Amino acid sequence: MGVMDFFLGKSRDEPQSGMQASAPMATKPVPKPFSISAKFDSLRLRTGRNSKIMMDVGITNISSQKQLVSVDLTLPQRSNVGFDVNCNQNYVEKRVGEIMPGATSTFSVPIFANNLTREGSYTVEINAFSHYLDYRKVLSQMRKKIALRAVSGRP
């Protein structure tokens, strides 16, 4: 019992609110802990200056335990498609946090094209990781690939 507990009127027998959890945290690997969904806000990426498309990624926890999740997104090397305006960054990591069983967490990532981007199909690789205790220890991994189509931006 601390000094502040004495002033706040807590006794030793009361459980602390920070220690309670509605679902246990995952401690063992699960073969398929997630369902990964991805979609683009428009059908195609236009090649050319200041062209951008938003990619919405959804991670659903289909296991029976709470999962600590991070997601890595990768674009092809030297493709002139990237996660920044200059198309230099082809890798991005998002730390999603804890996802309860049956819950879905979504986030959006911008994908850019520039004047050197060629028409064609580009593969976006999505890797979702389940972690133990912190983001340094990986329990499980799932991978999904999705195709992004780039078309000419000229009328």
CB-based contact 49:115 (threshold 8 Å): yes
Q: Span 28-40, mean pLDDT?
A: 85
DSSP string, 18-80: GG--SSPBP-S--S--EEEEEEESSS-EEPSTTEEEEEEEEEEE-SSSBEEEEEEEE--TTSS
Q: What percentage of the chain has pLDDT greater than the value 70?
A: 79
pLDDT at 98: 92
CB-based contact 72:91 (threshold 8 Å): yes
Furthest-apart CA atoms within the chain: distance in Å: 73
State pLDDT tens for residues 5-17: 655 665 554 444 4
Strand 51-61 with 104-113, pairing:
antiparallel
Whole-angstrom distance, CA of residue 142 vs CA of residue 82: 22
pLDDT at 75: 94
CA-based nearest residue to 25, from 59, 70, 63, 72: 63
CB-based contact 99:67 (threshold 8 Å): yes
State pLDDT tens for residues 63-104: 888 889 999 999 999 888 999 998 889 999 999 999 999 999
pLDDT at 16: 46
**Structural domains of the chain, with CATH:** 22-149 (2.60.40.10)
pLDDT at 11: 53
